[in-house]
Amino acid sequence: MNKKIKQQIAFWIFRLFSVLIVGILLSILGFIIFNGIQVINWEFLTTAPREGMTAGGIFPAIVGTFYLVIGSLIFAVPLGVMSAIYTIEYAGNGKVVRFIRMMTNNLASIPSIVFGLFGMALFVNKLGFGDSILAGSLTLGLLTLPIIIRTSEEALKAVPESYRSGSYALGASKLMTIRKVVLPSAMPNILTGIILSVGRVSGETAPILFTVAAYFLPNLPDSIFSQAMALPYHLYVLATSGTDIEASRPMAYGTALVLIVIVLFFNLSATILRQRMNKKLRHN
């Protein structure tokens, strides 16, 4: 068998696996859309659950999920990006920095339920925040922090060194170079990390189970110290421990569909923003 035939066989195997993976993904999405679209209507999106969560809607869970996503990003994005700037632009590549990177990678692989237990011990009990949006957001922020740090570091490394040299040659300081040259060039790739973190925050159940999520709330949260419903936990309750699991099953499919749409919305918004920034950088 010559090299050309071997190459063709390898290409066909890769193509077959790619089609298989896409097919499985589309099958799952199609199953959720087919079963979930039947319960999606205005009442489902704008009212609270009722009758033991076998009727009504999921509006409090939608609001709670948005609060947790925004709260975790407010905490994790500035801290993660500034940490990456320090390690790449200031700290060099010494033993301490390599140790920090190794620990960051290890943190990214820790199961989410461990973050949930840590959040409960520190934010809920030790700091006295109780089961609240603040405790849940901080816990989710810690969960996504390693992703944002590592992707931000790779984005900063990808900026050509000539950009920095050119800025210094024009008399700019290091801080000005980072703020005016390096960060704008790296921002599209930094957004990729933020996109990944949003997807993970939106779908996590274990961390919010111990820090914020409520089984049912008749009212919307009125402060960051209030408990909140969230779509992942609400879906878990509907599918496993509702008052009537069979009756609430259509609502579970509807909740899963809404959760997927919200994640796609965040991802699409960030992708459009990233493309616009790339286009602006090319024009500059």
Query: Quick check: 127 pLDDT over 80?
Result: yes
> Do 85 and 164 contact (CB within 8 A), yes or no?
no
β-pair partners for 168: none
Alpha helix (H) residue ranges in 58-94: 59-85
Q: Which backbone phi and psi does 91 adopt, to 5 degrees? A: -85, -15
What is d(CA 169, CA 163) in angstroms, rounded to the nearest whole number? 10
Residue 284 has what pLDDT?
64
Coil, strand or helix at 189:
helix
Q: How far is CA 181 from the centre of its chain?
A: 27
pTM of the shown model: 0.83
What is d(CA 262, CA 256) in angstroms, rounded to the nearest whole number? 10
- CA torsion, ordered 268, 203, 61, 51, to nearest 10 deg: 130
Residue 109 has what pLDDT?
81
Residue 198 has what pLDDT?
81
Question: Is the pLDDT higher at 79 or at 104?
Answer: 79
Residue 283 has what pLDDT?
65
> Do 131 and 206 contact (CB within 8 A), yes or no?
no
Q: How far are the Cα atoms of 133, 177, 188 from residue 156, in angstroms, in the given order? A: 32, 12, 11
pLDDT per residue over 84-125, tens digit each? Answer: 898 888 887 778 888 888 888 888 788 888 888 999 999 999
Residue 186 in tokens:
């790296």
β-pair partners for 50: 55
- Specify the DSSP class assigned to residue 228: B
> Do 273 and 192 contact (CB within 8 A), yes or no?
no
Query: Quick check: 53 pLDDT over 80?
Result: no
> Do 23 and 235 contact (CB within 8 A), yes or no?
no
β-pair partners for 228: 213
Q: What is the largest CA-CA distance in the chain?
A: 70
pLDDT per residue over 175-221, tens digit each? Answer: 888 888 888 888 888 887 887 788 778 777 888 888 887 877 777 88
CA-wise closest residue to 233 among 277, 202, 257: 202
